Structure 1
Amino acid sequence: MTRINDKFAELNAAGKKAFVSYVMAGDPDFDTSLEIVKALPGAGVDIIELGLPFTDPMADGVIIQLAGQRALAAGMTLNRTLELATEFRKGDNTTPIVLMGYYNPIYSHGVDRFLVDAKAAGIDGLIVVDLPPEEDSELCIPAQAAGMNFIRLATPTTDNKRLPKVMQNTSGFVYYVSITGITGAAEAEAVNVAPEVARIKAQTDLPVIVGFGINTPEKSEAIAGIADGCVVGSAIVKEIGAGKSASEVAAFVKSLADGAHRA
């Protein structure tokens, strides 16, 4: 059992949907980023997705790409990202943290060493967007053996033949990408997403969380209403990129979380 499993059990018992927020670690700098991350649980965030800055983020749109560039320019690394999680854990030992990024920095760090360091930093799950199920032996299976969830993405192009393969070693929750394309590219529509969520739920008992294209409290409520929760990333990162303070970012996040929790 991880903090992620515990959180969903708690939400289910309360009849609530999950609100997941994504922020890029170290954007715009370490101290500001840590202040923002610390403010997220109080703003209603159930699970924190912490972006790992990378030089070639192929799944990300311009908003998150720029966030990664700001973080890298400020000296953010994998070690510093884990340090940020460690600092957060000093004041919060219950909110789940999912590290989201690409395999290259993890591979460069060394998988065995990374898993030890990530676990010590209080990371509960991983989303590694460029590792398909065919590569589960690289990181997915070792991560789960180390006590971390490995969360897989399903998309509108994941057909019924492919879906069981995607689900086979997934744990924690399934992240359904509501649109084709990169982050921040289009808006999610509940009427289109609902049948896809049902299709995934027919293949797994895991919670299905929907992300990409959610940018208002109304959208957050609508999408959470047809899934087990929703993820907001680009809209939050845009506020950070505009130079908003941690308290201003938290107020915006709270409006989105409140929407999801009304569902």
Structure 2
Amino acid sequence: MSRVAAAIDAAHAEGRGAFIGYLPMGYPDLRTSIEAAVTLAENGADVIELGPPYSDPVMDGAIIQEATQAALAGGFRLRDIFPAIAEITSRVDVPVLVMTYWNPVYQYGVDRYADELSAAGGAGLITPDITPEAAADWIAASERTGLDRVFLAAPTSSDERLDLVARSSTGFVYTVSTMGITGERAQLDAAARTLVSRLREHGVERACVGIGISTADQVTGVLEYADGAIVGTALVRALRDGGLDALAATTRALTAGTHRA
């Protein structure tokens, strides 16, 4: 079993859903971003999701775009990913996934990227802009290295696409709560519940819902039907506005919503 799947199952064994926290790498600077990832783990995150900054972040909302642009302006480079993850994984036991657009992986070399990520102790990739049928090289590299590959499912996905995603994903399926970019929303789209139900019909054991989750109550609501809740923008906002202390407090507040009756 993958480390990510094991972390989700361990949360369930404790009577709660899993909490997956996202932060951009290199924000507000590389050193602080490493400490921020450790802070997530120390305050209740079951899985850490790190996003290397990218020049064309089509899926990201304003707050995350602002952070990633600041990281790029501050000198973050692709080669910084692996030493940073190596330090994080040397300090915490929480699995670390990289959420990355595909072009940087392709340009770096799929096998090279997989080998360096594995050597750094990373758990795998979330790839929002590549579908399983276009990811043969990555699927082969992940099978060779034991890395997880997390593909996305959307409310608009056909049954055929959901079946392919279910068969191709390991760790969990990233279940998009609503159509659109990341960001905080007052109400989550009820389509997420339907989508998780559809994924179950295709044999998905672990479905984690992301995009728009920003409060403990929303975490609780999502975990009524999903295996994990993914939060990004609320954490980035906390780090931006209040530094590591605010990030720690926000993480604790959000993870309080993971406990099930």
Same fold (TM over 0.5): yes
> What is the RMSD of the two structures over their aligned residues, measured on CA atoms?
1.6
Pairwise CA distance, 1:206? 2.5
1:190–1:226: 8 Å Cα contact kept in structure 2?
no
Matches of 1:7 and 1:130, distance apart in 2? 25
Structure 1 position 63 matched with structure 2 position 63: yes
Q: 1:141 to 1:167 in 2, by over 3 A?
A: farther
- The residue number in structure 2 matching 1:129 is 128
Q: Distance in 1 between matches of 2:85 and 2:249?
A: 22
Q: TM-score, normalised by structure 2?
A: 0.94
Could you state the TM-score of these two structures normalised by the residue count of structure 1?
0.94
Deviation of residue 140 (structure 1)? 2.4
Looking at structure 1, the residues matched to 52 and 133 of structure 2 have their Cα atoms a distance apart, in angstroms, of 23
1:14 alignment counterpart: 14
The answer to whether the Cα contact below 8 Å between 2:63 and 2:236 also exists between their aligned partners in 1 is yes
Q: Quote how far apart the aligned CAs of 1:28 are.
A: 0.6
| SS of structure 1 residue aligned to 2:54 | coil
Identity of aligned residues (%): 36
Amino acid at match of 2:212: G
Deviation at 1:45, TM superposition (A): 0.3
Work out whether residues 18 and 261 of structure 1, in 8 Å CA contact, stay in contact via their aligned partners in 2.
no
CA 190–227 in structure 1, closer or farther in 2 if over 3 Å, else same: farther
Whole-angstrom CA distance in 2 between matches of 1:247 and 1:44: 14
Q: Partners in 2 of 1:188 and 1:78 — Cα distance?
A: 35
For 2:55 and 2:76, locate their aligned partners in 1 and report how far apart those are by CA, in whole Å: 11
Secondary structure of 2:55's counterpart equals: coil
Determine which of 247, 250, 253 is the counterpart of 2:248: 250
State the partner residue of 1:261: 259
What SS does the aligned partner of 2:72 have?
Answer: helix
* 2:89–2:95 contact (8 Å) kept in structure 1: no
1:22 positional shift: 0.3
* Structure 1 position 200 matched with structure 2 position 191: no
* Count, aligned residues: 261
Q: Which runs of 5+ in 2 are unaligned?
A: none
Deviations for 1:88-115, whole angstroms, at most 9, x for unmatched residues? 12212x2111100111111121111111
Runs of 4+ with deviation above 6 angstroms: none
Alpha-carbon distance between aligned partners in 2 of 1:168 and 1:141, rounded to the nearest angstrom = 14
